[in-house]
Chains A and B, each alone.
Chain A
Amino acid sequence: MNLLKLVRQGRAWCFGDQVDTDQVLPGRYMGLGDPARAARHLMEGLDPEFGAQVRPGDIIVAGRNFGLGSTRGQALLAMKAAGLGGIVAESFSRIFFRGCISEGIPVLECPGIRGLVATGDEVKVDFGSGEVCNLSTGRSLRGRRLEGFMLERLAQGGSLAFLRSRGLVGGCEGGGDPRGGGGPRGDGAAPSAPRAER
């Protein structure tokens, strides 16, 4: 596993506690088909400049419970499209946290981070070890290192890269897989008649 990929350096954008996903990407942009278009509206609820100013590699620094509220997977697609370097927060809401792992956006829980970094500081984050260094001030802090399997998924580039690496893509175009089963119960039950409604 190449954890070097998880060392990220960029400008910090700081936000407070309880940043909900309606601030990360307001609901009215959910319908935008192109995540790059949605990226222009990232963090719009808190900093209308963010979407225009964010550069690839930049790092979001936030307080407690970052990403609470709606699943808002569109926000993660937009962050990925913007090339966000990663997110360091005092703590995360769970759906957002695991969404980032799946999206390939490095995350780090790091109590005390809000006191270490100010917006505009240059920061270097080793998401693999949990080490955060504020290059503008020379101060550093260590966060909670992610589980090995999460780091592996992140280093790989997220769920889609994982599926490619396992050869699980491109297998069923045009047809779908009609085989039954899948659950620990109910395997092999006959498919019921289609009930799709128009």
Chain B
Amino acid sequence: MPMTVSEKILAAHAGLKEVSAGQYVEAQADLTVTNDTSGHHLVRLCNELGIGPWDRRRFAIGLDHLVPANEPESAHDHNVIREFARRHRLPHFADISCGNHLQIPVERGLVRPGMLIPGNDSHCTMFGALGALGVGIGITETVELLATGRLWFKVPPTIRVRVEGRGLPSGVEAKDVVLEVARLLGCDGATYSTLEFCGPAVEGMGLEERMTLCNMAVEVGAKAGVVEADGVVAEYLSGREDPNGQGEAWHLARNDPGARFERTLVLQAASLGPRVAVPPRVDAVVDVGEVRGTPITQAFIGSCTNGRLSDLAAAARILRGRRVAPGVRLIVTPLSREVVLAAVREGIIEALLQAGALVTGVGCGACTGVCNGVLADDDVCVATINRNFPGRMGARQARIFLASPSTAAASAVAGHLEDPRAFLE
């Protein structure tokens, strides 16, 4: 029977010839990941129980949330994790200077087509941009995974999002596409399903844009986000090491001809404009025109959704030669050191600084409301992050509008929510 990418990957890792949506399987993982705020609990549980990773090469830890440590307790937590990494000789431990714990495994070539990656973070779905099945799991379940290398999975059906058209219009980004998907599906519209992005406009996207799409698949409840792996993935990997010698299972990262999908949603790229998710819901998505003029106090560009080079470049394109409006602070948090280095080389960091932005160190702080841009109750923020729930970035009354890097940059310049196309004539 023809299978989807999700079915193929789960079948292969369960040692079965075929599986179909709805079936429960026990499958072997290729890799797992954690960060500092979950990781210190994880490591303490492992230490208490005397558990180490089933394979030390398949456990990537990145210290990225409370970085650099902002109080003695987080400093201590980091040391607990460092000691664990040392004792178990973890080759893929990434300390605070490296960046986001999901981005680093991608940059290091650990995430490869056909892999099954249950990871201790909901945004593991972004591994789907490389044709891997990234699935979020909790802390305690990650302890079980570390001990055994295996977990149970329900084989998900697949919902396809097909984006027709040759490419996105100017000023419209992958973030706008996935916000539109959230509007159409609702925040539980894809629960327990895989969300697959396809069609000519997706095939024309770079890996970073595909990561943005897959990253936010979880915001509509999806178990995983996937783009069939192609030459874009091959090119990205060709410049990188394969530290675990895993190779690529290209055959698992493409649907079989005739594979069955639960449904297909069709979007027309040409008719998409910049989108904004209005607090407090990710699926309360409107055209930027409907909220244009709403005053803001902060703009934030960063996160595992939109903190990569192309995101910073999109912001710089608007900010170059302009200034952040008085009364607004623009905070930019590059996702990783690799992103910072490339952004420095391309003059992007200089453009951001010249415009009046604060460029912080790498990591995830502001997005989870723990450091590097926490909001007060009377703040209104446009952010390129993935969630706008009350209290997400700090105080509960703070309002968070989710948008693309271009929209965030345009709003920072205007002092209010603004259509980026106003600056791209």
Contact = CB atoms under 8 A, between A and B. Distances in A.
Interface of A: 18, 20, 22-23, 26-28, 30-33, 35, 45, 64-65, 68-71, 73-74, 76-77, 91, 93-95, 98-99, 102-103, 147, 149, 158-160, 162-164, 168-186, 189-198
Contacts of B120: 71, 73
A1 B114 CA distance: 36
B122 A71 contact: yes
A102 to B, nearest CB: 4
15 contacts: A71-B38, A74-B41, A76-B139, A91-B191, A163-B144, A169-B51, A171-B51, A172-B51, A175-B52, A176-B89, A178-B89, A184-B13, A186-B244, A192-B244, A195-B243
Contacts of A94: 191-192, 221, 223
A69 B390 CA distance: 12
Contact of A183 (B71, B246, B389, B392): B246
Interface in B223-265: 223, 241, 243-247, 249
Contacts of B54: 177, 182
Interface stretch (B42-50, B343-351, B403-411): B42-50
Nearest to A71: B122
B134 interface: no
Contact of B141 (A28, A102, A149, A189): A102
B56 interface: yes
B51 to A, nearest CB: 6
A22 B147 contact: no
Given A91-B191, A197-B98, A98 B15 contact: no
Contact of A163 (B40, B147, B369): B147
A30 B114 contact: no
Given A176-B90, A178-B89, A197-B98, 16 more contacts: A30-B368, A32-B73, A70-B387, A71-B139, A73-B38, A73-B142, A76-B139, A103-B138, A159-B144, A160-B144, A169-B51, A172-B51, A173-B52, A176-B88, A181-B55, A189-B246
Contacts of B139: 71, 73-74, 76-77, 99
Contacts of B49: 160, 163-164, 169-170
A168 B137 contact: no
Interface of B: 12-13, 15, 24, 28-30, 37-38, 40-42, 44-45, 49-58, 65-66, 71, 73-74, 76-77, 85, 87-95, 97-98, 108, 114-116, 120-122, 136-144, 147-149, 152, 187-188, 191-192, 218, 221, 223, 241, 243-247, 249, 281, 368-370, 387, 389-392, 394, 396
Closest 5 CB pairs of A and B: A73-B139, A99-B138, A176-B88, A189-B245, A170-B50
Contacts of A195: 91-92, 108, 243
Contacts of B98: 197
A33 B122 contact: no
Contacts of B87: 174-176
Contacts of A162: 144
A26 B391 contact: yes
A71 B369 contact: no
Given A23-B390, A31-B370, A99-B141, A18 B51 contact: no
A177 B187 contact: no
Contacts of B45: 160
B28 A182 contact: yes
Given A31-B77, A68-B221, A177-B53, A22 B392 contact: yes
A95 B187 contact: no
B89 A30 contact: no
Most-contacted residue by chain A among B40, B52, B85, B139 (CB, 10 A): B139
